[in-house]
Structure 1
Amino acid sequence: MSVLNTVPFEKFHGTGNDFFVVDADDPVPDRPAFARTHCDREAGITLSESERRGADGVLFLALESRYDPPRVVMTLVQPDGSVAAMCGNGARVAAAWAAERTGTNEVMIDTPAGTRRASLDGTDVTVEMGAPSFAPRDVPLASDDELVDTEVEGLTVTAVNTGVPHAVAFVDDVDDVDLESVAPPVRHASVFPEGANVTLASPDGEGGFRQRTFERGVEGETQSCGTGAVAVVAAAKRLGRVSGDDPVTVTPPGGALSVTVPDEGAALLGGPAVYEGDGEADIVFRER
Protein backbone atom coordinates (compact mmCIF):
# COMPACT_ATOMS: atom_id res chain seq x y z
CA MET A 1 0.00 0.00 0.00
CA SER A 2 1.42 3.37 -1.02
CA VAL A 3 0.27 6.69 0.47
CA LEU A 4 0.44 9.68 -1.87
CA ASN A 5 -1.09 12.53 0.06
CA THR A 6 -3.87 13.48 2.44
CA VAL A 7 -7.39 14.72 1.90
CA PRO A 8 -9.60 16.67 4.33
CA PHE A 9 -12.76 14.99 5.56
CA GLU A 10 -15.65 15.62 7.91
CA LYS A 11 -17.52 13.02 9.90
CA PHE A 12 -21.30 13.01 10.36
CA HIS A 13 -23.83 10.52 11.62
CA GLY A 14 -27.56 10.07 11.16
CA THR A 15 -28.97 8.24 14.19
CA GLY A 16 -25.65 6.45 14.60
CA ASN A 17 -25.18 5.60 10.90
CA ASP A 18 -21.79 7.28 10.48
CA PHE A 19 -19.96 8.51 7.40
CA PHE A 20 -16.75 10.20 6.38
CA VAL A 21 -17.57 13.04 3.98
CA VAL A 22 -15.05 14.01 1.29
CA ASP A 23 -15.54 16.89 -1.14
CA ALA A 24 -15.44 15.36 -4.62
CA ASP A 25 -13.29 18.32 -5.73
CA ASP A 26 -10.50 16.77 -3.65
CA PRO A 27 -9.31 13.89 -5.84
CA VAL A 28 -9.12 10.40 -4.37
CA PRO A 29 -7.76 8.15 -7.15
CA ASP A 30 -8.87 4.84 -5.63
CA ARG A 31 -12.15 5.36 -3.82
CA PRO A 32 -12.77 1.67 -3.00
CA ALA A 33 -9.33 1.32 -1.39
CA PHE A 34 -9.85 4.59 0.50
CA ALA A 35 -13.17 3.33 1.92
CA ARG A 36 -11.86 -0.13 2.79
CA THR A 37 -8.88 1.36 4.60
CA HIS A 38 -10.46 4.19 6.55
CA CYS A 39 -13.89 2.67 7.34
CA ASP A 40 -12.38 -0.37 9.04
CA ARG A 41 -13.78 -0.60 12.58
CA GLU A 42 -10.52 -1.89 14.02
CA ALA A 43 -7.83 -0.05 12.05
CA GLY A 44 -9.65 2.88 10.42
CA ILE A 45 -9.80 6.57 11.28
CA THR A 46 -10.77 7.69 14.76
CA LEU A 47 -11.54 11.21 15.97
CA SER A 48 -11.12 12.51 19.49
CA GLU A 49 -14.68 13.86 19.19
CA SER A 50 -16.05 10.47 18.15
CA GLU A 51 -16.14 7.30 20.19
CA ARG A 52 -16.21 4.99 17.15
CA ARG A 53 -13.32 4.06 14.90
CA GLY A 54 -14.03 3.76 11.18
CA ALA A 55 -17.42 4.40 9.59
CA ASP A 56 -20.29 2.83 7.68
CA GLY A 57 -19.08 4.40 4.45
CA VAL A 58 -17.52 7.36 2.68
CA LEU A 59 -19.74 9.99 1.06
CA PHE A 60 -18.03 11.66 -1.89
CA LEU A 61 -20.08 14.83 -2.44
CA ALA A 62 -19.99 17.25 -5.37
CA LEU A 63 -21.81 20.53 -4.71
CA GLU A 64 -23.46 22.36 -7.60
CA SER A 65 -24.51 25.59 -5.88
CA ARG A 66 -25.52 27.47 -9.05
CA TYR A 67 -28.87 25.70 -9.06
CA ASP A 68 -31.91 26.77 -7.05
CA PRO A 69 -32.30 24.82 -4.86
CA PRO A 70 -28.63 23.77 -4.83
CA ARG A 71 -27.78 20.22 -5.88
CA VAL A 72 -25.30 17.78 -4.47
CA VAL A 73 -24.13 14.66 -6.29
CA MET A 74 -23.79 11.85 -3.75
CA THR A 75 -21.64 8.75 -4.18
CA LEU A 76 -21.55 6.39 -1.21
CA VAL A 77 -18.64 3.94 -1.19
CA GLN A 78 -19.17 1.26 1.43
CA PRO A 79 -16.58 -0.43 3.64
CA ASP A 80 -16.21 -3.32 1.18
CA GLY A 81 -15.48 -0.88 -1.67
CA SER A 82 -18.86 -1.23 -3.37
CA VAL A 83 -21.09 1.71 -4.31
CA ALA A 84 -24.59 1.87 -2.80
CA ALA A 85 -27.36 3.13 -5.07
CA MET A 86 -29.12 4.86 -2.19
CA CYS A 87 -28.72 5.47 1.54
CA GLY A 88 -31.38 7.35 3.48
CA ASN A 89 -29.19 8.46 6.36
CA GLY A 90 -26.35 9.21 3.94
CA ALA A 91 -28.70 11.41 1.91
CA ARG A 92 -29.69 13.30 5.04
CA VAL A 93 -26.00 13.84 5.86
CA ALA A 94 -25.35 14.99 2.28
CA ALA A 95 -28.19 17.52 2.59
CA ALA A 96 -26.82 18.86 5.89
CA TRP A 97 -23.33 19.17 4.37
CA ALA A 98 -24.65 21.03 1.31
CA ALA A 99 -26.96 23.27 3.33
CA GLU A 100 -24.08 24.34 5.57
CA ARG A 101 -22.20 25.53 2.49
CA THR A 102 -25.11 27.27 0.77
CA GLY A 103 -27.19 28.63 3.65
CA THR A 104 -30.35 27.03 2.26
CA ASN A 105 -32.94 24.81 3.89
CA GLU A 106 -33.74 22.83 0.74
CA VAL A 107 -31.36 20.68 -1.28
CA MET A 108 -31.65 18.35 -4.27
CA ILE A 109 -29.56 15.17 -3.98
CA ASP A 110 -28.50 13.28 -7.10
CA THR A 111 -27.95 9.57 -6.33
CA PRO A 112 -27.59 6.45 -8.51
CA ALA A 113 -31.19 5.64 -7.49
CA GLY A 114 -32.49 9.02 -8.71
CA THR A 115 -32.80 12.62 -7.54
CA ARG A 116 -34.16 13.21 -4.05
CA ARG A 117 -35.40 16.43 -2.45
CA ALA A 118 -34.40 17.19 1.14
CA SER A 119 -35.60 19.87 3.55
CA LEU A 120 -33.90 21.01 6.75
CA ASP A 121 -35.15 22.33 10.06
CA GLY A 122 -32.10 22.88 12.25
CA THR A 123 -30.32 19.53 12.58
CA ASP A 124 -33.42 17.63 11.46
CA VAL A 125 -33.41 16.59 7.81
CA THR A 126 -36.28 15.05 5.87
CA VAL A 127 -35.56 13.47 2.52
CA GLU A 128 -37.80 12.06 -0.20
CA MET A 129 -36.95 8.40 -0.68
CA GLY A 130 -38.88 7.50 -3.82
CA ALA A 131 -41.78 5.04 -3.96
CA PRO A 132 -41.06 1.60 -2.45
CA SER A 133 -41.45 -1.27 -4.91
CA PHE A 134 -42.20 -4.94 -4.36
CA ALA A 135 -41.92 -5.75 -8.08
CA PRO A 136 -39.51 -8.63 -8.75
CA ARG A 137 -37.66 -6.65 -11.44
CA ASP A 138 -37.16 -3.71 -9.09
CA VAL A 139 -36.04 -5.54 -5.94
CA PRO A 140 -34.54 -7.46 -7.90
CA LEU A 141 -35.59 -11.07 -7.44
CA ALA A 142 -34.70 -14.24 -9.29
CA SER A 143 -38.42 -14.90 -9.57
CA ASP A 144 -41.44 -13.69 -11.50
CA ASP A 145 -43.46 -13.44 -8.30
CA GLU A 146 -43.30 -10.94 -5.47
CA LEU A 147 -41.74 -12.18 -2.25
CA VAL A 148 -44.25 -11.38 0.48
CA ASP A 149 -44.24 -13.02 3.92
CA THR A 150 -42.28 -15.97 2.56
CA GLU A 151 -39.62 -18.12 4.19
CA VAL A 152 -36.09 -17.60 2.90
CA GLU A 153 -33.26 -19.47 4.61
CA GLY A 154 -35.28 -19.93 7.79
CA LEU A 155 -36.52 -16.33 8.07
CA THR A 156 -39.98 -15.19 6.95
CA VAL A 157 -39.38 -12.07 4.88
CA THR A 158 -40.98 -9.55 2.56
CA ALA A 159 -38.76 -8.18 -0.20
CA VAL A 160 -38.96 -4.49 -1.12
CA ASN A 161 -36.71 -1.99 -2.85
CA THR A 162 -36.48 1.40 -1.12
CA GLY A 163 -33.52 2.55 -3.20
CA VAL A 164 -31.70 -0.68 -2.35
CA PRO A 165 -33.15 -4.18 -1.78
CA HIS A 166 -34.33 -5.19 1.68
CA ALA A 167 -35.61 -8.47 3.08
CA VAL A 168 -37.85 -7.42 5.99
CA ALA A 169 -38.79 -9.85 8.75
CA PHE A 170 -41.26 -9.04 11.54
CA VAL A 171 -40.40 -10.72 14.83
CA ASP A 172 -41.69 -10.53 18.39
CA ASP A 173 -38.56 -8.79 19.70
CA VAL A 174 -35.59 -7.74 17.55
CA ASP A 175 -33.26 -8.15 20.53
CA ASP A 176 -34.05 -11.86 20.78
CA VAL A 177 -32.62 -12.60 17.33
CA ASP A 178 -28.95 -13.37 16.65
CA LEU A 179 -28.79 -11.12 13.60
CA GLU A 180 -25.17 -11.89 12.76
CA SER A 181 -26.11 -15.57 12.42
CA VAL A 182 -29.50 -15.45 10.70
CA ALA A 183 -28.86 -12.56 8.29
CA PRO A 184 -25.94 -13.74 6.07
CA PRO A 185 -27.77 -16.74 4.55
CA VAL A 186 -30.69 -14.45 3.63
CA ARG A 187 -28.42 -11.67 2.42
CA HIS A 188 -26.75 -14.15 -0.01
CA ALA A 189 -29.86 -16.22 -0.86
CA SER A 190 -30.18 -17.18 -4.53
CA VAL A 191 -33.54 -15.42 -4.77
CA PHE A 192 -31.63 -12.12 -4.41
CA PRO A 193 -29.26 -12.03 -7.42
CA GLU A 194 -27.71 -8.76 -6.23
CA GLY A 195 -27.93 -9.61 -2.54
CA ALA A 196 -30.18 -7.90 0.01
CA ASN A 197 -30.03 -5.97 3.22
CA VAL A 198 -31.70 -7.93 6.01
CA THR A 199 -33.94 -5.89 8.30
CA LEU A 200 -35.74 -7.07 11.42
CA ALA A 201 -38.67 -5.20 12.95
CA SER A 202 -40.79 -5.64 16.04
CA PRO A 203 -43.70 -3.55 17.40
CA ASP A 204 -42.66 -0.89 19.91
CA GLY A 205 -46.04 -0.91 21.69
CA GLU A 206 -46.82 2.65 20.59
CA GLY A 207 -47.76 2.12 16.95
CA GLY A 208 -44.19 2.16 15.65
CA PHE A 209 -41.42 -0.37 15.24
CA ARG A 210 -37.98 -1.16 16.55
CA GLN A 211 -35.46 -2.01 13.85
CA ARG A 212 -32.17 -3.81 13.32
CA THR A 213 -30.45 -4.08 9.93
CA PHE A 214 -27.62 -6.20 8.58
CA GLU A 215 -26.33 -4.07 5.71
CA ARG A 216 -25.06 -5.35 2.39
CA GLY A 217 -21.68 -3.76 1.70
CA VAL A 218 -21.01 -3.19 5.39
CA GLU A 219 -21.48 -6.93 5.96
CA GLY A 220 -22.63 -6.42 9.49
CA GLU A 221 -25.19 -4.66 11.65
CA THR A 222 -25.29 -0.87 11.59
CA GLN A 223 -26.61 1.47 14.26
CA SER A 224 -29.20 2.77 11.80
CA CYS A 225 -30.37 2.22 8.23
CA GLY A 226 -32.69 4.77 6.63
CA THR A 227 -33.67 2.68 3.61
CA GLY A 228 -34.33 -0.14 6.09
CA ALA A 229 -36.63 2.05 8.17
CA VAL A 230 -38.63 2.91 5.06
CA ALA A 231 -38.67 -0.77 4.10
CA VAL A 232 -40.13 -1.66 7.52
CA VAL A 233 -43.08 0.71 7.10
CA ALA A 234 -43.61 -0.24 3.45
CA ALA A 235 -43.67 -3.94 4.35
CA ALA A 236 -45.88 -3.27 7.38
CA LYS A 237 -48.42 -1.53 5.13
CA ARG A 238 -48.28 -4.36 2.62
CA LEU A 239 -48.98 -6.89 5.39
CA GLY A 240 -51.73 -4.80 7.00
CA ARG A 241 -49.77 -4.02 10.16
CA VAL A 242 -50.23 -0.27 9.63
CA SER A 243 -52.47 1.80 7.38
CA GLY A 244 -52.92 5.37 6.24
CA ASP A 245 -50.45 8.10 5.39
CA ASP A 246 -49.46 9.24 8.89
CA PRO A 247 -45.79 9.21 9.95
CA VAL A 248 -44.59 6.06 11.72
CA THR A 249 -41.73 6.07 14.22
CA VAL A 250 -39.04 3.49 13.49
CA THR A 251 -36.28 3.12 16.05
CA PRO A 252 -32.99 1.45 15.18
CA PRO A 253 -30.31 1.24 17.91
CA GLY A 254 -28.98 4.71 17.02
CA GLY A 255 -32.19 6.67 17.57
CA ALA A 256 -35.69 7.39 16.28
CA LEU A 257 -36.59 8.07 12.64
CA SER A 258 -39.87 9.35 11.23
CA VAL A 259 -41.12 7.46 8.18
CA THR A 260 -44.08 8.27 5.96
CA VAL A 261 -45.07 5.81 3.24
CA PRO A 262 -48.13 7.21 1.45
CA ASP A 263 -50.47 5.04 -0.58
CA GLU A 264 -49.13 6.84 -3.64
CA GLY A 265 -45.95 8.84 -4.22
CA ALA A 266 -42.58 9.16 -2.53
CA ALA A 267 -41.83 7.97 0.98
CA LEU A 268 -40.31 10.43 3.46
CA LEU A 269 -37.52 9.79 5.96
CA GLY A 270 -36.82 12.29 8.74
CA GLY A 271 -34.33 12.52 11.58
CA PRO A 272 -31.18 14.28 12.80
CA ALA A 273 -27.92 14.67 10.87
CA VAL A 274 -25.11 15.42 13.31
CA TYR A 275 -21.59 16.75 12.66
CA GLU A 276 -18.95 14.89 14.67
CA GLY A 277 -15.63 16.43 13.65
CA ASP A 278 -13.06 16.69 10.88
CA GLY A 279 -9.52 15.71 10.04
CA GLU A 280 -7.08 14.63 7.33
CA ALA A 281 -7.01 11.14 5.81
CA ASP A 282 -4.26 9.45 3.83
CA ILE A 283 -5.10 9.06 0.15
CA VAL A 284 -4.69 5.36 -0.47
CA PHE A 285 -3.22 4.84 -3.93
CA ARG A 286 -2.97 1.08 -4.12
CA GLU A 287 -3.70 -1.97 -1.99
CA ARG A 288 -1.59 -5.12 -2.17
Structure 2
Amino acid sequence: MKINFDKYHGCGNDFIIINNLSNTFPKDSENQIKKICNRRFGIGADGLILINYNDKFPFEMIYYNSDGKISTMCGNGGRCVMHYCYSNDIIDNKSEFLACDGIHHGIINDDYVKVSMSDVNGYEKYNDYLFLNTGSPHLVKFVDDVSSLDLINISRNIQKSNRFDNGVNVNLVSRKNDNLYEIRTYERGVEDETLSCGTGAVASALALNILSLINSKTVNLDTKGGLLTVDFNKSNSKYTDIHLSGKVKKVFTGILEL
Protein backbone atom coordinates (compact mmCIF):
# COMPACT_ATOMS: atom_id res chain seq x y z
CA MET A 1 0.00 0.00 0.00
CA LYS A 2 1.26 3.48 -0.90
CA ILE A 3 0.16 6.49 1.14
CA ASN A 4 0.95 10.15 0.49
CA PHE A 5 2.25 12.20 3.40
CA ASP A 6 3.61 15.65 4.19
CA LYS A 7 6.39 16.33 6.67
CA TYR A 8 5.81 19.49 8.76
CA HIS A 9 7.36 21.17 11.73
CA GLY A 10 6.21 23.84 14.13
CA CYS A 11 9.27 25.43 15.73
CA GLY A 12 11.24 22.22 15.26
CA ASN A 13 8.49 19.96 16.66
CA ASP A 14 8.10 17.72 13.61
CA PHE A 15 5.24 15.59 12.34
CA ILE A 16 4.22 13.24 9.55
CA ILE A 17 0.74 14.26 8.38
CA ILE A 18 -1.52 11.86 6.49
CA ASN A 19 -4.88 12.64 4.91
CA ASN A 20 -7.08 9.80 6.17
CA LEU A 21 -10.46 11.29 5.25
CA SER A 22 -11.16 8.19 3.18
CA ASN A 23 -10.18 5.94 6.11
CA THR A 24 -7.48 4.01 4.27
CA PHE A 25 -4.74 4.03 6.93
CA PRO A 26 -4.37 0.57 8.53
CA LYS A 27 -5.94 -0.10 11.92
CA ASP A 28 -3.88 -1.43 14.85
CA SER A 29 -0.78 0.22 13.42
CA GLU A 30 1.21 1.01 16.60
CA ASN A 31 4.36 -0.82 15.47
CA GLN A 32 4.01 0.60 11.96
CA ILE A 33 3.79 4.18 13.26
CA LYS A 34 6.75 3.60 15.58
CA LYS A 35 8.85 2.49 12.59
CA ILE A 36 7.67 5.40 10.44
CA CYS A 37 8.67 7.91 13.14
CA ASN A 38 12.08 6.31 13.69
CA ARG A 39 14.77 8.77 12.59
CA ARG A 40 17.18 6.07 11.38
CA PHE A 41 14.94 3.42 9.86
CA GLY A 42 11.88 5.50 8.94
CA ILE A 43 10.95 9.02 7.92
CA GLY A 44 11.59 10.38 11.39
CA ALA A 45 9.32 12.62 13.47
CA ASP A 46 8.18 13.47 16.99
CA GLY A 47 4.73 12.18 16.03
CA LEU A 48 2.27 11.20 13.32
CA ILE A 49 -1.07 12.90 12.66
CA LEU A 50 -4.06 11.37 10.89
CA ILE A 51 -6.67 13.69 9.40
CA ASN A 52 -9.86 11.68 9.89
CA TYR A 53 -13.41 12.21 8.66
CA ASN A 54 -15.97 13.62 11.09
CA ASP A 55 -19.56 14.37 10.10
CA LYS A 56 -19.80 17.43 12.38
CA PHE A 57 -16.43 19.08 11.75
CA PRO A 58 -14.18 19.68 8.72
CA PHE A 59 -11.86 17.00 10.12
CA GLU A 60 -10.75 15.20 13.25
CA MET A 61 -7.12 15.21 14.35
CA ILE A 62 -5.73 11.92 15.68
CA TYR A 63 -2.25 12.22 17.16
CA TYR A 64 0.32 9.47 17.79
CA ASN A 65 3.61 9.93 19.61
CA SER A 66 6.78 8.51 18.07
CA ASP A 67 6.40 5.40 20.26
CA GLY A 68 3.39 4.52 18.09
CA LYS A 69 0.84 5.03 20.83
CA ILE A 70 -2.19 7.26 20.38
CA SER A 71 -1.74 10.33 22.56
CA THR A 72 -3.33 13.46 23.93
CA MET A 73 -3.57 16.90 22.33
CA CYS A 74 -0.51 18.27 20.54
CA GLY A 75 -0.53 22.07 20.16
CA ASN A 76 2.17 22.37 17.51
CA GLY A 77 0.65 19.41 15.71
CA GLY A 78 -2.69 21.20 15.69
CA ARG A 79 -1.08 24.26 14.12
CA CYS A 80 0.67 22.16 11.47
CA VAL A 81 -2.44 20.17 10.59
CA MET A 82 -4.43 23.39 10.18
CA HIS A 83 -1.86 24.64 7.67
CA TYR A 84 -1.88 21.31 5.84
CA CYS A 85 -5.66 21.29 5.54
CA TYR A 86 -5.74 24.90 4.35
CA SER A 87 -3.02 24.23 1.77
CA ASN A 88 -4.96 21.21 0.49
CA ASP A 89 -8.32 23.03 0.24
CA ILE A 90 -9.91 21.06 3.08
CA ILE A 91 -10.61 24.22 5.12
CA ASP A 92 -10.57 28.02 4.77
CA ASN A 93 -7.98 30.14 6.55
CA LYS A 94 -10.35 30.35 9.54
CA SER A 95 -11.76 27.03 10.64
CA GLU A 96 -12.23 24.51 13.41
CA PHE A 97 -11.44 20.87 14.02
CA LEU A 98 -12.06 18.16 16.57
CA ALA A 99 -9.29 16.62 18.69
CA CYS A 100 -9.25 14.26 21.66
CA ASP A 101 -9.79 17.14 24.10
CA GLY A 102 -12.60 18.84 22.19
CA ILE A 103 -13.06 21.58 19.61
CA HIS A 104 -10.22 23.83 18.44
CA HIS A 105 -10.39 26.95 16.28
CA GLY A 106 -7.55 28.23 14.15
CA ILE A 107 -6.45 31.09 11.92
CA ILE A 108 -3.83 30.72 9.19
CA ASN A 109 -1.89 33.75 7.95
CA ASP A 110 0.78 32.56 5.50
CA ASP A 111 3.18 30.48 7.62
CA TYR A 112 1.86 31.85 10.94
CA VAL A 113 -0.84 29.77 12.60
CA LYS A 114 -2.85 30.53 15.73
CA VAL A 115 -4.94 27.79 17.34
CA SER A 116 -7.24 27.82 20.36
CA MET A 117 -6.47 25.51 23.27
CA SER A 118 -8.65 23.92 25.94
CA ASP A 119 -9.61 25.88 29.06
CA VAL A 120 -7.52 25.12 32.13
CA ASN A 121 -9.18 25.06 35.52
CA GLY A 122 -6.75 24.91 38.41
CA TYR A 123 -3.43 23.22 39.00
CA GLU A 124 -1.66 20.92 41.45
CA LYS A 125 1.73 20.99 43.12
CA TYR A 126 4.23 18.17 42.73
CA ASN A 127 7.37 18.73 44.79
CA ASP A 128 8.69 22.07 43.43
CA TYR A 129 6.77 21.77 40.15
CA LEU A 130 3.32 22.92 39.10
CA PHE A 131 1.16 20.31 37.36
CA LEU A 132 -1.29 21.50 34.71
CA ASN A 133 -3.31 19.72 32.05
CA THR A 134 -3.38 21.81 28.87
CA GLY A 135 -4.73 19.01 26.71
CA SER A 136 -1.68 16.99 27.74
CA PRO A 137 -0.24 16.61 31.27
CA HIS A 138 2.68 18.91 32.09
CA LEU A 139 4.99 19.67 34.99
CA VAL A 140 6.52 23.16 34.99
CA LYS A 141 9.37 24.53 37.08
CA PHE A 142 10.81 28.04 36.99
CA VAL A 143 14.63 28.00 37.25
CA ASP A 144 17.48 30.48 37.00
CA ASP A 145 19.01 29.03 33.83
CA VAL A 146 17.40 26.24 31.80
CA SER A 147 20.61 25.64 29.83
CA SER A 148 22.56 24.62 32.92
CA LEU A 149 20.32 21.69 33.90
CA ASP A 150 20.22 18.06 32.78
CA LEU A 151 16.61 18.06 31.60
CA ILE A 152 16.67 14.51 30.26
CA ASN A 153 17.91 12.81 33.43
CA ILE A 154 15.67 14.97 35.61
CA SER A 155 12.65 14.06 33.49
CA ARG A 156 13.40 10.36 33.20
CA ASN A 157 13.62 10.10 36.98
CA ILE A 158 10.23 11.80 37.28
CA GLN A 159 8.74 9.22 34.87
CA LYS A 160 9.53 6.54 37.47
CA SER A 161 7.11 8.12 39.96
CA ASN A 162 3.90 6.21 40.72
CA ARG A 163 2.14 9.57 40.47
CA PHE A 164 2.42 9.49 36.67
CA ASP A 165 1.54 5.99 35.50
CA ASN A 166 1.11 7.17 31.90
CA GLY A 167 4.13 9.47 31.97
CA VAL A 168 4.26 13.25 32.14
CA ASN A 169 5.83 16.04 30.11
CA VAL A 170 8.41 18.15 31.94
CA ASN A 171 9.15 21.84 31.29
CA LEU A 172 11.91 24.04 32.67
CA VAL A 173 11.51 27.81 32.22
CA SER A 174 13.81 30.77 32.88
CA ARG A 175 13.53 34.50 32.24
CA LYS A 176 15.44 36.14 29.36
CA ASN A 177 13.90 39.64 29.57
CA ASP A 178 10.66 41.40 30.50
CA ASN A 179 8.34 39.31 28.33
CA LEU A 180 10.56 36.62 26.87
CA TYR A 181 11.13 33.32 28.61
CA GLU A 182 13.33 30.43 27.61
CA ILE A 183 11.75 26.98 27.75
CA ARG A 184 12.96 23.41 27.41
CA THR A 185 10.55 20.46 27.26
CA TYR A 186 10.90 16.71 27.71
CA GLU A 187 8.02 14.91 26.03
CA ARG A 188 6.60 11.60 27.18
CA GLY A 189 6.07 9.17 24.32
CA VAL A 190 9.08 10.70 22.58
CA GLU A 191 11.07 10.09 25.79
CA ASP A 192 13.49 12.86 24.95
CA GLU A 193 13.80 16.62 24.74
CA THR A 194 11.99 18.11 21.75
CA LEU A 195 12.84 21.40 20.08
CA SER A 196 9.47 22.79 21.16
CA CYS A 197 6.14 21.68 22.58
CA GLY A 198 2.91 23.63 22.13
CA THR A 199 0.97 22.31 25.12
CA GLY A 200 4.15 22.71 27.16
CA ALA A 201 4.43 26.35 26.11
CA VAL A 202 0.82 26.90 27.20
CA ALA A 203 1.41 25.17 30.54
CA SER A 204 4.55 27.22 31.13
CA ALA A 205 2.85 30.53 30.31
CA LEU A 206 0.01 29.76 32.73
CA ALA A 207 2.46 28.62 35.40
CA LEU A 208 4.31 31.93 35.15
CA ASN A 209 0.99 33.68 35.78
CA ILE A 210 0.14 31.38 38.70
CA LEU A 211 3.53 32.13 40.26
CA SER A 212 2.93 35.89 39.77
CA LEU A 213 6.06 36.17 37.64
CA ILE A 214 4.19 37.93 34.82
CA ASN A 215 1.42 40.53 34.61
CA SER A 216 0.81 40.33 30.88
CA LYS A 217 -1.78 37.96 29.40
CA THR A 218 0.52 37.44 26.41
CA VAL A 219 3.74 35.49 26.88
CA ASN A 220 6.56 34.92 24.40
CA LEU A 221 8.47 31.68 24.83
CA ASP A 222 11.85 31.06 23.23
CA THR A 223 12.18 27.36 22.37
CA LYS A 224 15.17 25.66 20.76
CA GLY A 225 13.16 25.61 17.53
CA GLY A 226 11.79 29.16 17.50
CA LEU A 227 9.38 31.58 19.11
CA LEU A 228 5.94 30.56 20.41
CA THR A 229 3.37 33.01 21.77
CA VAL A 230 0.64 32.18 24.26
CA ASP A 231 -2.23 34.50 25.14
CA PHE A 232 -5.06 33.89 27.59
CA ASN A 233 -7.71 35.34 29.87
CA LYS A 234 -8.17 34.51 33.54
CA SER A 235 -11.22 34.55 35.79
CA ASN A 236 -10.56 33.48 39.36
CA SER A 237 -8.50 30.30 38.93
CA LYS A 238 -9.82 29.41 35.46
CA TYR A 239 -7.91 30.18 32.28
CA THR A 240 -9.97 30.70 29.12
CA ASP A 241 -9.51 32.03 25.57
CA ILE A 242 -6.10 30.36 25.42
CA HIS A 243 -4.30 30.55 22.09
CA LEU A 244 -0.99 29.19 20.84
CA SER A 245 0.70 31.00 17.95
CA GLY A 246 3.84 30.58 15.89
CA LYS A 247 5.30 29.70 12.53
CA VAL A 248 4.96 26.35 10.79
CA LYS A 249 6.79 24.95 7.78
CA LYS A 250 6.08 22.23 5.27
CA VAL A 251 9.40 20.43 4.88
CA PHE A 252 8.66 17.94 2.12
CA THR A 253 6.06 15.65 0.54
CA GLY A 254 6.55 11.93 0.01
CA ILE A 255 4.99 8.54 -0.57
CA LEU A 256 5.02 5.98 2.22
CA GLU A 257 5.05 2.28 1.38
CA LEU A 258 3.36 0.13 4.04
* Corresponding position of 2:203: 231
TM-aligned CA deviation for residue 130 of structure 1: 1.4
- Asked if 1:189 is matched to 2:189, the reply is no
Counterpart for residue 76 of structure 1: 63
- The one-letter amino acid of 2:252's match is G
Paired position in structure 1 for 2:173:
201
State the distance in 1 between where 2:94 and 2:100 align: 20
| Root mean square deviation, CA, Å | 1.7
Deviations 1:228-254 (Å, cap 9, x if unpaired)? 000001111111111242x21011100
CA distance in 1, matches of 2:249, 2:5: 15
Secondary structure at the aligned position of 1:263 is classed as: strand
- Structure 1 stretch displaced more, 233-242 or 27-36: 27-36
Q: Deviations over 1:148-168 (max 9, x none)?
A: xx42xxxx2110000010000
TM-score of the superposed pair, with normalisation by structure 1: 0.82
* Residue in 1 that maps onto 2:11: 15
CA distance in 2 between counterparts of 1:134 and 1:282 reads 45
Aligned mates of 1:34, 1:272 — CA distance in 2: 29
SS at match of 1:250: strand
Q: Distance in 1 between matches of 2:98 and 2:140?
A: 26
Residue pairs, 1:230-249, within 5 angstroms: 230-245=202-217, 247-249=218-220
2:138 paired with 1:166: yes
For 1:77-226, what aligned pairs fall within 5 Å after superposition?
Answer: 77-102=64-89, 104-135=92-123, 146-147=124-125, 150-151=126-127, 156-226=128-198
Choose 75-84 or 88-97, whichever is displaced more: 75-84
SS in 2 for 1:96: helix
Does the 8 Å contact 1:98/1:107 carry over to 2? Answer: no
- Mapped to 1, the partners of 2:71 and 2:222 lie a distance apart of 22
Unaligned runs of 5+ in 2: none
Note the alpha carbon deviations across 1:22-79, whole angstroms, 9 max, x for none.
111232234312220011122222xxxxxxxx10011001256x97xx6221001111
Superposed displacement of residue 186, structure 1? 1.5
Q: Is the 8 A contact 1:105 1:119 kept in 2?
A: yes
Per the TM alignment, residue 82 of structure 1 is displaced from its structure 2 partner at its CA by 1.4
In structure 2, distance between residues paired with 1:29 and 1:244: 45
CA distance in 1, matches of 2:150, 2:215: 29
Mapped partners of 1:235, 1:250: distance in 2 = 13
Show CA shifts across 1:8-33 (max 9, x none): 11101000000001111232234312
Q: 1:244 and 1:212 mapped to 2: Cα distance?
A: 21
**Aligned position for 2:30:** 32
For normalisation by structure 2, the TM-score amounts to: 0.91
Aligned to 1:139: none
Aligned residues: percent identity? 31
Unaligned runs of at least 5 residues, structure 1? 46-53, 136-145, 284-288
Letter in 2 for 1:11: K
